[in-house]
Amino acid sequence: MFAAILLDCIQSIHGERSISGIHNLIQGKKSSQTLQDARLYKLERYFGIYPSLSKLNAHKAAESLERRNFIRFNQENHPVLADEGEKYLEDSFMKDVNFFSGMEHHRNIILFEKRLRLLIQTVTHSELKDFSFLPIVEDPSVQAWMKRLYRNNVISDLLTSLYEELNSLLSALSHLEAELFTRRLTGGGLIGETREQLAHDYHLSVEDVDLLIKHALFYMYRTTLSRQENYPALALCLEGMANEKLITSSARQTLQWLNRGLSLEDIVKKRRLKLSTIQDHVVEAALIDPSFDIGSFISKEGQKDILTTLETLNTNKLKKLFEALDHNYNYFEIRLVVASSKHTFKEDRHAPSSTS
């Protein structure tokens, strides 16, 4: 699965970003650059799905893709999809069934997972009248949530509901995902298995184990979210989760100053940041907020110019655009137009299919 995700990213980025850039995206680096990349290349779904992915492992994986002739590296040492890789990607189930929606949900998924694991352990051990088990999730806020939930427990037969809901959701996933997911669970006196153990038993890489389980969690989370009445037990784990828009808090501050009528230069002074950083914030805002007006930063003609070139060249590479426009516009202006142009396309996330 890791290979398919990397190939998918590489295909969309067509040689314009390095492996590090892709790593930042999958790992969920909260920088303007990475957030912009995710939007520009329509890779929002993979943003932040694997927070613990190390740079080293991302590079190792890329090397192995190269060895299998799935990708090659261009002059700038950026990965490009090769024919073999394209074939592999087409055949992988990621092309049909892809429940990742990282940009929107990656943070909630982390909390959802912790709650679900602790809920399962607690419910099953209570059934066994074993109240002295060691909680598998150590996060104190999740433990507090669990206690609260138990104190005013609303669902009568939580054990059975939880079982049935999980059973039905897991049946809709691939056999492998269901296997990995259940083997990693702790409860009913059974201790879950580590990623290494699962990797060994199923002849997978640790990254594949992590991502397959993560994918299962995305599916469960989104299905529960969209049909809470059908999954009352799992829906308990959604309690109080916000639907936050992704924007760095630093960018938010810059926006607040902008809204109060300060110029970029004023903000630079006020916040003692570099101009380029403040510009990053503006581009970030343009990317995320469709109503953000870039008119005060670049004229209508300028926007049109850049847009035309953008469409003819069909690239997101700033340098190429910059040169094609005869250096008439600076990078900031080009980035702004590129960013806001993304809103003219429809978002193409698919909701989970209702197969359960």
| Residue whose CB is less far from other proteins, 215 or 342 | 215
Q: How far is the CB of 46 from other proteins (least distance, A)?
A: 21
| Residue whose CB is less far from other proteins, 80 or 159 | 159
In degrees, rounded to 5, the angle at the alpha carbon of residue 238 between the alpha carbons of residues 189 and 45 is: 105
Among 43, 162, 234, 282, binds other proteins (CB under 8 A): 162
185 binds other proteins (CB under 8 A): yes
Count Cα neighbours of 236 within 13 Å in the Cβ-side half-sphere: 28
| Residue whose CB is less far from other proteins, 21 or 187 | 187
140 binds other proteins (CB under 8 A): yes
350 binds other proteins (CB under 8 A): no
233 binds other proteins (CB under 8 A): no
Q: How far is the CB of 137 from other proteins (least distance, A)?
A: 8
Other Cβ atoms within 10 Å of 311 Cβ, number: 9
78: tokens are 């950026």
> Which listed range, 18-26, 94-102, 104-112, 167-175, lies at the site for other proteins (CB under 8 A)?
167-175
181 binds other proteins (CB under 8 A): yes
User: What are the helix (H) ranges across the chain?
Assistant: 2-13, 19-27, 32-40, 55-67, 83-91, 102-127, 140-151, 158-171, 175-184, 195-202, 206-226, 232-235, 249-259, 264-271, 275-288, 300-313, 318-324, 331-341
Among 67, 129, 151, 175, binds other proteins (CB under 8 A): 175
Q: How far is the CB of 124 from other proteins (least distance, A)?
A: 6
194 binds other proteins (CB under 8 A): yes
Q: Are 178 and 170 in contact (CB under 8 A)?
A: yes
Among 55, 68, 87, 200, binds other proteins (CB under 8 A): 200
Q: Cα-flanking dihedrals φ and ψ of residue 171, to 5°?
A: -65, -25
Q: How far is the CB of 356 from other proteins (least distance, A)?
A: 14
- CA-CA-CA-CA torsion for 51, 54, 55, 58, nearest 10 degrees? -90
Q: How far is the CB of 23 from other proteins (least distance, A)?
A: 18
Q: Show contacts with other proteins in window 93-132 (CB under 8 A).
A: 120, 124, 127-128, 131-132
Q: Are 116 and 234 in contact (CB under 8 A)?
A: yes
Q: How far is the CB of 128 from other proteins (least distance, A)?
A: 7
Using CA atoms, how far apart are residues 17 and 82, in angstroms rounded to an integer? Answer: 16
Q: Show contacts with other proteins in window 47-76 (CB under 8 A).
A: 52
Q: Are 152 and 229 in contact (CB under 8 A)?
A: no
Cα end-to-end distance, the chain, whole Å: 22
Q: Cα-flanking dihedrals φ and ψ of residue 169, to 5°?
A: -65, -40
Task: For residue 71, give the DSSP letter.
Answer: E
| Residue whose CB is less far from other proteins, 101 or 121 | 121
Among 196, 239, 265, 323, binds other proteins (CB under 8 A): 196
Chain residues that interact with other proteins, rule: CB under 8 A: 52, 120, 124, 127-128, 131-138, 140, 159-160, 162-163, 166-167, 170, 175, 178-179, 181-183, 185-197, 200-201
